[in-house]
């Protein structure tokens, strides 16, 4: 193949990328769901609560830990048991039975040292009546809440999948995991147990997905099911039901329960803890991660709130057609309302310079925690469904940080930039026309 200039055309750059997901019965996800179910129950009674709830589980037991300051009265053991039963751990043979497991509590109130920085941010304590109006009662409610912790948060979006605007490998991995739970709960494959994992490898050419080259499904099951039947059923009812035939490479490697047996699972096989599936919760490894977990944290915790905001900004940039890929980083200092930095990276795919996009996004969205809490209405019970199958790209839920209501404003900014950028060329062309006419 030759280019128009006669040289050899450059072959497309090829790479593979793999993402994983887990079912709601994975022990870490059991813990995430219990933590967010407790947060939801507290938010139903007390929107101003401060919640940092961690959960661990092992065979026959659950430990609920953390710092919670609230006027709500909630029965945490009952919430934990109901969540476990809803997931499907209702039999002692599974290593965890919500009806009979022990539930231990180790919960204290939020540290007063942290509380003072959240309730009275640095801007008002160190600067007095700051430019935010934090020193004047009622002048600016967004200046009256500091970040609940320091940290760096990332949000990401790509046009690989629409309307999800998520990387294709993680979208497919989540779909496989959800389908694995669905066929268990609906009785299509009644011999399945709650635990399970999925993994999808996608081939890219010039950063565009072209084929699925590997699929892994590991499903916990009853001891008497034949491996051949399980593999045939999962191929038919899970993999073929999720992966489009035209997307699956003819040479794709398919692994179904590759160890040959997965009877012992859940907390019996692997200790579960909150916050250990951060890549599953976000972008499947395609984007960077600041390290902070989401589940069990109230909206003053920027680990959660600012991650949602960063996703919102990145998704609107891509949905507006201003970039094919976009990553937004936001960084905070504990007890300080305004972020210490905001960064945008469009990986060379942007129509506008990244620095200009950053300034425009900061103009459009107030990134102080109180402003984000109000914009996304975060002090309400919406979190339990997020604790499995990802916090982003969830087209099954009406999540405020997934809305694309900045698109028109961003497109106007792009049009203005392109108009200004083209002005010198138009002026030069007009001058050349005048010189030609004067000859």
Q: Which of 233, 196, 236, 232 is nearest to 216 (CA)?
A: 196
Give the pLDDT of residue 135. 43
One digit per residue, the tens of pLDDT, for the chain of length 439 reads 233 344 556 788 999 999 999 999 999 999 999 999 999 999 999 999 999 999 999 999 999 999 999 999 999 999 999 999 999 999 999 999 999 999 999 999 876 666 655 666 666 666 554 444 444 434 677 777 777 778 899 999 999 999 999 999 999 999 999 999 999 999 999 999 999 999 999 999 999 999 999 999 999 999 999 999 999 999 999 999 999 989 999 999 999 999 999 999 999 999 999 999 999 999 999 999 999 999 999 999 999 999 999 999 999 999 999 999 999 999 999 888 899 999 999 999 999 999 999 999 999 999 999 999 999 999 999 999 999 999 999 999 999 999 999 999 999 999 998 888 765 655 555 565 666 666 5
State the Cα torsion 114-115-119-122 to the nearest 10°: -20
Tokens coding 423: 């002005």
Alpha-carbon distances of 56 from 73, 210, 398, rounded to whole Å: 22, 40, 29
Token pair 């060379």 in the structure block, residue: 348
What is the spatial distance between Cα 77 and Cα 80, in angstroms, rounded to a whole number?
A: 5
Burial category of 244 from C-beta neighbours within 10 Å (exposed 0-12, middle 13-18, buried 19 and up): exposed
**In whole angstroms, what separates CA 77 from the centre of its chain?**
27
Name the pTM for this structure: 0.90
Burial category of 414 from C-beta neighbours within 10 Å (exposed 0-12, middle 13-18, buried 19 and up): buried
Cis before 163? omega within 30: yes
What is the spatial distance between Cα 135 and Cα 167, in angstroms, rounded to a whole number?
A: 44
The domains found in the chain, sorted by start residue, are 14-23+168-268 (3.30.300.10), 27-116 (3.30.300.10), 152-162+275-415 (3.30.300.10)
Rg (CA), the chain: 25
Q: What string of DSSP letters covers 323-341?
A: -SEEEEEEEE-TT-SS-SE
What is the spatial distance between Cα 113 and Cα 119, in angstroms, rounded to a whole number?
A: 10
Q: Find residue 91's DSSP bridge partners.
A: 96
What is the spatial distance between Cα 179 and Cα 239, in angstroms, rounded to a whole number?
A: 9
3-class SS of residue 248: strand
Tokens coding 31: 């813990």
Count of Cβ atoms closer than 10 Å to residue 184 Cβ: 22
CB-based burial, 192-207: b 16+ in 10 Å, e otherwise: bbbbbbbbbbbbbeee
What is the spatial distance between Cα 184 and Cα 179, in angstroms, rounded to a whole number?
A: 8
Cβ atoms of 144 and 121 within 8 Å: the answer is: yes
What is the spatial distance between Cα 95 and Cα 301, in angstroms, rounded to a whole number?
A: 33
Cβ atoms of 76 and 98 within 8 Å: the answer is: no
Count of Cβ atoms closer than 10 Å to residue 409 Cβ: 15
What is the spatial distance between Cα 385 and Cα 78, in angstroms, rounded to a whole number?
A: 18
φ, ψ for residue 122, nearest 5 deg:
-55, -40
Give the pLDDT of residue 225. 97
């Amino acid at each position: 193949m030759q280019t128009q200039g006669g040289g050899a055309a450059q072959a497309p750059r090829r790479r593979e990328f793999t993402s994983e997901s887990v079912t709601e019965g994975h022990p870490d996800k059991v813990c995430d769901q219990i933590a967010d179910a407790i947060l939801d129950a507290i938010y139903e009674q007390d929107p101003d609560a401060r919640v940092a709830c961690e959960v661990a589980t092992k065979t026959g037991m659950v430990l609920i830990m953390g710092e919670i300051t609230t006027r709500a009265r909630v029965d945490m053991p009952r919430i934990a048991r109901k969540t476990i039963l809803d997931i499907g751990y209702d039999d002692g043979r599974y290593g965890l039975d919500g009806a009979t497991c022990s539930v231990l509590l180790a919960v204290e109130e939020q540290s007063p040292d942290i509380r003072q920085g959240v309730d009275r941010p640095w801007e008002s304590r160190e600067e007095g009546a700051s430019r935010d109006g934090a020193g004047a009662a009622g002048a600016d409610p967004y200046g009256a809440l500091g970040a609940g912790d320091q940290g760096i948060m990332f949000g990401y979006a790509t046009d690989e999948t629409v309307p999800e605007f998520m990387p294709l490998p993680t979208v497919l991995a989540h779909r496989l995991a959800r389908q694995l739970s669905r066929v268990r709960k609906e009785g299509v494959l009644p011999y399945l147990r709650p635990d399970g994992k999925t993994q999808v490898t996608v081939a890219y050419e010039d950063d565009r997905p072209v084929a699925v080259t590997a699929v892994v499904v590991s499903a916990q099951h009853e001891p008497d099911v034949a491996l051949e039947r399980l593999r045939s059923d999962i191929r038919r009812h899970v993999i073929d039901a999720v992966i489009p035939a035209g997307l699956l490479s003819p040479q794709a490697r398919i692994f179904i329960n590759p160890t040959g047996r997965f009877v012992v699972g859940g907390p019996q096989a692997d200790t579960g803890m909150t916050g250990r599936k951060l890549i599953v919760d976000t972008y499947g490894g395609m984007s960077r991660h600041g390290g902070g977990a989401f589940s069990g944290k109230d909206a003053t915790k920027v680990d959660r709130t600012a991650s949602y905001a960063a996703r919102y900004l990145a998704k609107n940039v891509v949905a507006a057609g201003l970039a094919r890929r976009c990553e937004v980083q936001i960084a905070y200092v504990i007890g300080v309302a305004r972020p210490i930095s905001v960064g945008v990276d469009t990986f060379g795919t942007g129509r506008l310079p990244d620095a200009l996009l950053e300034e425009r996004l900061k103009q459009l969205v107030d990134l102080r925690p109180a402003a984000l809490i109000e914009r996304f209405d975060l002090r309400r019970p919406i979190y339990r469904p997020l604790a499995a199958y990802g916090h982003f790209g969830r087209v099954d839920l009406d999540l405020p940080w997934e809305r694309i209501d900045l698109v028109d404003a961003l497109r106007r900014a792009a049009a203005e930039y392109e108009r200004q950028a083209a002005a010198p060329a138009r002026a030069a062309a007009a001058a050349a026309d005048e010189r030609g006419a004067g000859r």
